[in-house]
Each structure stands twice: as C-alpha cells, then as structure tokens.
C-alpha cells in the first residue's frame, strides 16, 4: 500500500485501538507513548493539541481535558487531597469559585479566597496544610492584572504551588511558567480554539507534575474527544494572528468607550489610566488582549435597551471567539456570588463584559455608538 503523508493530522475518531497479540500489548505497557490502546488514556489528536499548547507555554508537557472547568479540577487534584487547603484570588471566574467552594469542599479540600490587594502578602492566609494558590493572569470580569513574578516569589517562600489560569491572556501575551508559576491552565474553549465551536481545557505542567496530571485525567475520565481536539488544534494555528487583532480592536474600542458620556467606567489594561497598565505592558509584551468591561447606568431597562439595540454583538455568555459578543457578569458568570461579594468587587447591574472579535474596529465602534445613543 502506498504511504500517505497528510499535511494535517487526520481525525482518529475511535474509542479503542487494536493489538496483534499479547506481545504487542505488553509493548504498550512497557514503552508508554509508542502505541495507543484506549482514547480515554490517549489519542493522537489529544496528544497533538497538548504538545502544541505546551510548546506555546514553555512547559514540559500538557494534558487536555473536556472543559476549562475540568482543567481546574485536574490542576487542583494534581496537588491536593482531602485535608489540604487551597488559596484562590477573590476576583476569579464564577465557575471556578463555585467548583472550589461548593464541590471540592465536599471531598475535604478547604478553600480560602484572598482579596487582590493581599495576594502579595500571603503570610496571613497560608496554613500548615496549604498546598496551592489559584489566580488568573487577567481577572474575569474586571481585568485586574496579576504580577505573576511577584506572586511566584511569595508562593515559593511559603513552599506552596502557584497555578495560573491564563485564559484571558493566552501564551501570546503572557507565559506564566517563565515568570515562576508551577502550572498553567486554560479554557481551550476560549482563545486557544477561538471559534466558539469547541468545549475543552488544558493543563500545562512542569516535568515533575506531568504524570500525576495524566493519571487524574485518565482515572476521572475528563479526557477530550478526538474531534474536538482536532478542531482546537486547527484553531490554535491562527492564535498569534487572532490575538494581535483582538488586542488592536479592543484598545480602539476601550478608548472610544472611555470618552463616551453614557459610559461610567471602562476596565481595560491597555488604557494608561488602568492601575496595572505598566505591569500589563511589560508582562504582556505590549499586547493587552481582547477582553474589556464597562459600566453603563445600573438599571435593568437601560441594560436591556442597550443589548437590544446592538446589531452586530450578540449577548452570548462566553468569550474569545472571532466574532464580538457581550456578556453580563452579574447575571451569568458571577451569579453564584453573594450580593456582598459582588458589591465588594464592583460587579453591578450596569457592568457589561465585551469580548472583542477580529472584525473591523470601525464597524464595532459604530455599533456600540448607535446602541449607546438609544439608552
């Protein structure tokens, strides 16, 4: 039979691989990585995606998972067991907070949330059983920028692990492992895949943690399907181009919104007025990402009128696709937070999160402008 050399990896849409005999089966167990047996244990498509993301992040290897949420689960279970304690940045994705505080506590892992201003002085929060800290490179939804190198110095001094959710930034903007983080995770659903057609996650590890992370994925069965791995690997090929355009558009829109009389506040690290602008500029190599948030009047009818008036930006409770969309943190991603916590963080009814796509910036600004005029 002729040998074929496809330019693109085929989709290995199979749950199981076959063996010739027991000798070949033993070879699988004696030389891991040379063959495949069962797609929950490994598949060429999942391995390709893991390898490509690991290369971008500068890791020793990676595991891909069924969602961003399962990626956080894998990260925590790589380092923690019942009786351990986890610290988490107070401003974080609502789903992450729910997983930690409502589910992992049920299996005996204690959780404490640390206010942003106290992240760099952890001595008051670290307990004898504290094993790790979880924080986001750029926080969801108010775009606070984490000084990863500074936090890494704190965690190393306390002898605990630092896990960074790099979803909002992507490795094009920031590489947390190079800044001292021990592990990086992403919701691949977002920028890495980039086209709003995949639900996936990834955990990028140092060498000493890789086998444990693989064991968690395999045993808990949170592996990704071959087809979604293939789609994500395809999307990954345009990541650098997309992030540059996302960032360029977001900066132009943030500058427009900042001067608009009906916008009360804008959160975007690319604006000089942002309190971590200089850190974001240095840590992000001059790119600030495609996510921003802004506040209009805190009235339900105002928010609804604005959403309904938009012609090119659908209300979609996710982010990072090539097409621009808006979301509402109070009613979607952070609805599980208590009113007191929401008030402390400043997440009010009028806060709109904008995931800026790669369309023409002028068209997006025009759509925002006409919608703001109708409120």
Tell how far CA 215 is from the center of its chain: 22
Closest CA to 43 of 182, 230, 295: 230
Closest CA to 244 of 362, 356, 366, 365: 356
Closest CA to 203 of 132, 105, 111: 132
Alpha helices in the chain (DSSP H): 22-30, 44-57, 68-79, 94-98, 148-158, 207-220, 226-236, 239-258, 277-283, 300-309, 339-345, 361-372
Residue tagged 């979607």 (tokens): 332
Joined together, the tokens standing for residue 312 give 């090119």
* Annotated catalytic residue 165: yes
Q: For the residues of 272-287, what is the DSSP string, one character each?
A: TTSTTHHHHHHHTTT-
Whether residue 292 contacts residue 266, with contact meaning beta carbons closer than 8 Å, is answered with: yes
Joined together, the tokens standing for residue 360 give 């023409």
* Annotated catalytic residue 40: yes
* Annotated catalytic residue 93: yes
- 301: buried, middle or exposed (CB in 10 Å: 19+, 13-18, 0-12)? exposed
* Annotated catalytic residue 212: no
Whether residue 48 contacts residue 233, with contact meaning beta carbons closer than 8 Å, is answered with: yes
Residue tagged 């990086």 (tokens): 184
Using CA atoms, how far apart are residues 183 and 154, in angstroms rounded to an integer?
Answer: 15
Catalytic residue among 190, 214, 295, 353: 190
Catalytic residue among 47, 131, 161, 165: 165
21: enclosing H helix or E strand: none
Catalytic residue among 93, 214, 242, 353: 93
Residues 6+ apart with CB under 8 A from 163: 75, 76, 79, 132, 133, 134, 135, 181, 182, 183, 184, 185
Residue tagged 């924080």 (tokens): 135
- Secondary structure letter of residue 191 according to DSSP: T
Q: Just list the catalytic residues.
A: 40, 93, 165, 190
């Amino acid at each position: 039979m002729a040998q074929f050399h496809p330019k693109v990896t085929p989709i290995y849409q199979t749950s199981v691989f076959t063996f010739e005999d027991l000798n070949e089966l033993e070879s699988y167990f004696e030389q891991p990585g040379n063959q495949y047996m069962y797609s929950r244990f490994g598949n060429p498509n999942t391995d390709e995606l893991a390898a490509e993301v690991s290369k971008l992040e500068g890791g020793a290897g990676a595991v891909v998972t069924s969602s961003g949420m399962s990626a956080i689960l894998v990260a925590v279970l790589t380092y923690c067991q019942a009786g351990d304690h986890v610290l988490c940045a107070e401003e974080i994705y609502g789903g992450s907070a729910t997983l930690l505080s409502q589910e992992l506590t049920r299996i005996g892992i204690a959780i404490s949330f640390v206010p942003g201003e106290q992240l760099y002085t952890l001595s008051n929060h670290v307990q004898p059983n504290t094993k790790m800290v979880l924080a986001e490179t750029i926080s969801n939804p108010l775009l606070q920028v984490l000084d990863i190198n500074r936090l890494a110095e704190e965690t190393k001094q306390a002898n605990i692990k630092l896990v960074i959710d790099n979803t909002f930034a992507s490795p094009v903007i920031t590489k947390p492992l190079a800044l001292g983080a021990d592990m990086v995770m992403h919701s691949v659903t977002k920028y890495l895949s980039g086209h709003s057609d995949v639900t996936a996650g990834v955990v990028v590890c140092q060498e000493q943690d890789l086998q444990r992370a693989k064991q968690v994925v395999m045993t808990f069965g949170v592996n990704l399907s071959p087809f979604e791995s293939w789609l994500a690997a395809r999307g990954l090929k345009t990541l650098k181009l997309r992030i540059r355009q996302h960032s360029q558009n977001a900066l132009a829109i943030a500058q427009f919104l900042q001067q608009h009389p009906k916008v009360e506040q804008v959160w975007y690290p690319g604006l000089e007025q942002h309190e971590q602008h200089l850190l974001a500029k240095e840590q992000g190599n001059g790119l600030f990402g495609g996510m921003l948030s802004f506040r209009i009047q805190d009235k339900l009818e105002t928010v609804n009128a604005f959403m309904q008036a938009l012609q090119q930006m659908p209300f979609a409770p996710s982010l990072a696709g090539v097409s621009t969309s808006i979301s509402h943190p109070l009613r979607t991603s952070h609805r599980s937070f208590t009113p007191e916590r929401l008030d402390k963080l400043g997440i009010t009814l009028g806060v709109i999160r904008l995931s800026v796509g790669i369309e023409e910036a002028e068209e997006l600004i025009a759509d925002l402008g006409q919608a703001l005029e109708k409120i």
